[in-house]
Structure 1
Amino acid sequence: MPHVNIKHFPRDFTAEQRERLSEAVTTVVAKHLDTPRGAVSIALEPVPEAEWSDTVVVPEITGREHLLIKTPNYLGNPQENA
């Protein structure tokens, strides 16, 4: 049921890093959406830095601020400094 797609700059993850990330995200999503852990799916989607704006910012963030629960600071959000 809940599906989380994490878009990120390309990097290599070890199996241990992938497992720790999966466990952490699953725990938070299951808790806050009151859903079984087994219902959570997670994808890691590498996006080259040169394509970030066209692939992520424009289609996923711009004009969809009402869906965001956190705005990235690179868009000038004064509430986020890190």
Structure 2
Amino acid sequence: MAGARDRRTVRRPLAAANGRERQMPHVNVKLATGRSEEQKRELTRRIVEAVTSTVGCDEDAVSVAIQDVPMAEWNDAVYVPEIEPSLDGLYKKPGYGRPG
């Protein structure tokens, strides 16, 4: 496709004010529908805390997205397209197989 970006293109990281490379972690969480906004805020707070302390970046460099997925759609929307083909590369595998 003309003009499309090659996924293998290496992008230069943004420089922080001190001239060092700035890490920009983005975490995408998919949850079964039904969690409260309070639970999502607490999950986000804990994810940001874990990312900043583990990766060593500033809190303002982290972004978190949460997507609610109805359980009736979990298999088709999450497990089959994202989990199943990536099982060997997952750092944390689910304790369940393909939902039936």
Query: Same fold by TM (over 0.5)?
Result: yes
Q: Is 1:41 equivalent to 2:49 in the alignment?
A: no
* Matching residue's letter, 1:71: K
Identity of aligned residues (%): 39
Q: CA deviation at 1:43?
A: 1.0
Structure 1 unpaired stretches of 5+: 77-82
- Count of residue correspondences: 75
Runs of 4+ displaced beyond 4 Å: none
Quick check: which has more Rg, 1 or 2?
A: 2
Structure 2 unpaired stretches of 5+: 1-23
Q: 1:66 to 1:32 in 2, by over 3 A?
A: farther
More helix by share: 1
The residue aligned with 1:31 is: 53
Q: 1:31 to 1:66 in 2, by over 3 A?
A: farther
TM-score normalised by structure 1 residue count: 0.77
Q: In the alignment, which of 76, 79, 83 is matched to residue 57 of structure 1?
A: 79
Q: Which has the higher contact order (CA 8 A, sep 6+)?
A: 1
The residue aligned with 1:67 is: 89
TM-score normalised by structure 2 residue count: 0.65
